[in-house]
Amino acid sequence: MTNHLVIFDCDGTLVDSQHSICAAMTQAFEAVKLPPPDRLDILSVVGLSLPHAVAHLLPGTDAAFHDHVADHYKTAFRAMRAGGAVSEPLYDGITDLIAALDAQGWLLGVATGKSDRGLNLCLTHHGIIDRFVTLQTADRHPSKPHPSMIAQAMADAGASPETTVMIGDTSFDIEMAVNAGVRGIGVAWGYHPPELLLESGAAAVAVDSRELARHIGVP
């Protein structure tokens, strides 16, 4: 018998980090003397590993330049965090949902385009890091929608595809779930529209944390 596992994306699913992400990406582009992308363009690539996100924003440029811009993004984000300017509030109801899942015996994980350091700082700040048995980040995996993060999370938790659910706000999360053979549930409060999540293969899209709990199977 395998364990039941819920894997959450982080940015746009657990926390609303859009203001910090947009600010850091704007600073990164300014550092390389390029006009910053529009806010919606930046949000459209949240969830991808950072060099992949930059590649989407700068088509026609090479991988070395993507890494260069990504380094500037990391520098900007670190400076913002050191200055207390990073804003990553939990979405409404997330703390209660995590507690309810834990009480029901679900194991919890995260699969995110964040770095190990960024994810640990975020979850520790909110006092929920101990709730998660597996944390998978861009530092150790190919970018979403490759299924590597989900595969490792299931291995860590002793779960199978049939007993695993992936929760995310972007098409990259849902496509990753499809590629891993697990059920993907979208959330409507993040950075990609619900219709795109459904087109990408989401079994359902929740409009709030209570509806998400029902879709997962929490009474």
The catalytic residues are 9, 11
The tens-digit pLDDT sequence of the chain (219 residues) is 699 999 999 999 999 999 999 999 999 999 999 999 999 999 999 999 999 999 999 999 999 999 999 999 999 999 999 999 999 999 999 999 999 999 999 999 999 999 999 999 999 999 999 999 999 999 999 999 999 999 999 999 999 999 999 999 999 999 999 999 999 999 999 999 999 999 999 999 999 999 999 999 987
Identify the CATH assignment for 18-82 out of 1.10.3210, 2.40.128, 3.30.1370, 1.10.150. 1.10.150
203 contacts 183 by C-beta, under 8 angstroms? yes
82 CB-near residues (< 8 Å, 6+ apart):
none
Locate CATH 1.10.150 in the chain: 18-82
Residue with tokens 């003397």: 33
Locate CATH 3.40.50.1000 in the chain: 3-16+88-216
Which run of H or of E encompasses 183?
A: strand 183-187
Measured in whole angstroms, the distance separating CA 131 from the mean position of its chain's CA atoms is 17
Angstrom CA distances, 172 to 1, 79, 168, 194, stand at 29, 28, 8, 13
- 3 state DSSP class of 148: helix
